[in-house]
Amino acid sequence: MKIRLLTILPAVLFAGLALFPYVSSGSDDGGLVTLRGAPIPESVTDSENALKKPIESLPMERDFTQQPPLVSHAVDNYPVTKNFNKCMDCHSWERYREAKATKVSQTHFKTSEGQDLANISPRRYFCLQCHVPQVDARPLVPNDYERAKSTR
């Protein structure tokens, strides 16, 4: 085991070095930068493709029955880390009434082995894996997707 660790360690360190410029992108004055750290001119950020604000609305309609509902608010200030899940401050069964939010679905308490837990199941912990906010943007790739008949 020890020998194995020693053989992969240089590879891990090297990968870390290679990724460093990407991980540390962000300019000193808080402005937008590219992945390599070059500043993005104002004219670009102001253009039609500018970063748009997430839609804030009432819950959005679903396009098919099994769809994870789209997040109808911004999520920038709601971190989900290993030890803390801000989403559950409003979406837990304890808090949803006060927050006037939808409570997490009952399905979110079931483990992958089918056991029912008292709290959110680990496989449903990272909410943004499935639930995403929306912006009113032109689709990057044109498509003719139509809502499932059952949800029309």
Q: Which is nearer to ligand HEC, 16 or 122 (CB)?
A: 122
Residue 147 Cα distances to 59, 69, 136, 151, angstroms: 16, 14, 18, 7
Q: Which residues bind ligand HEC (CB under 6 A)?
A: 58-59, 66, 68-69, 71-73, 75, 78, 80, 85-91, 99-102, 104-105, 107-108, 120, 124-131
Tokens of 108: 């979110």
In angstroms, what is the minimal distance from the CB of 45 to ligand HEC? 24
Q: Which is nearer to ligand HEC, 33 or 73 (CB)?
A: 73
Q: Which is nearer to ligand HEC, 45 or 105 (CB)?
A: 105
In angstroms, what is the minimal distance from the CB of 75 to ligand HEC? 4
Tell which residue, 128, 122, 25, has the closest CA to residue 78.
Answer: 128
In angstroms, what is the minimal distance from the CB of 47 to ligand HEC? 28
Tell which residue, 152, 82, 92, has the closest CA to residue 122.
Answer: 82
In angstroms, what is the minimal distance from the CB of 69 to ligand HEC? 3
Q: Which is nearer to ligand HEC, 33 or 67 (CB)?
A: 67
Cα–Cα dist 1/15, whole Å: 21
